[in-house]
Amino acid sequence: MERLKRRAAPLAALCAAGLVALASCEVGQAPPRRQVSDGDPALGRAAFGKYGCGGCHVIPGVDRAAGRVAPPLGAFSQRAFVAGVLSNTPDNLIAWIRHPQQISPRTAMPDLGVTPEDARDMAAYLYSLDPG
């Protein structure tokens, strides 16, 4: 029983954080539009192909990005969290793209050596995707 309690604690904390985030939203109000001011969405789209992200993810607008291993990346700007562990902010998304293993060592997402510039552009592309 004690082991179950220890394992449930992180999940409870994550749920509590999600409830706080939801409570701060007004009913019917869309989440804020996120964007990366110094990123280029067109270059980001190309970078997703360069790093082979479509082997695991479905990424709208990226050729051959039809992977079913990891979550689809459409409407990313509407998500509350990046990888279920970070608040969805441009800085957090860029950090996740660059160093997922440092942020969450048990993640299946590999560290692909994404450059800072490519990560900014990739984040800009994800935030540019139509939520509809």
Q: Measure CA 44 to chain center.
A: 14
Q: What angle do CA 87, 11, 26 make, to 5 degrees?
A: 45
Give the C-alpha separation, 75 to 78, whole Å: 6
| pLDDT tens, per residue, the chain with 132 residues | 555 445 545 544 444 444 444 444 445 555 556 778 899 999 999 999 999 999 999 999 999 999 999 999 999 999 999 999 999 999 999 999 999 999 999 999 999 999 999 999 999 999 999 775
Q: What percent of the chain has pLDDT over 90?
A: 69
pLDDT in tens, 36-54: 889 999 999 999 999 999 9
pLDDT in tens, 53-65: 999 999 999 999 9
Q: Which amino acid is at 75?
A: A
DSSP, res 95: H
Annotated domain spans of the chain = 30-128
Domain 30-128 CATH class label = mainly beta
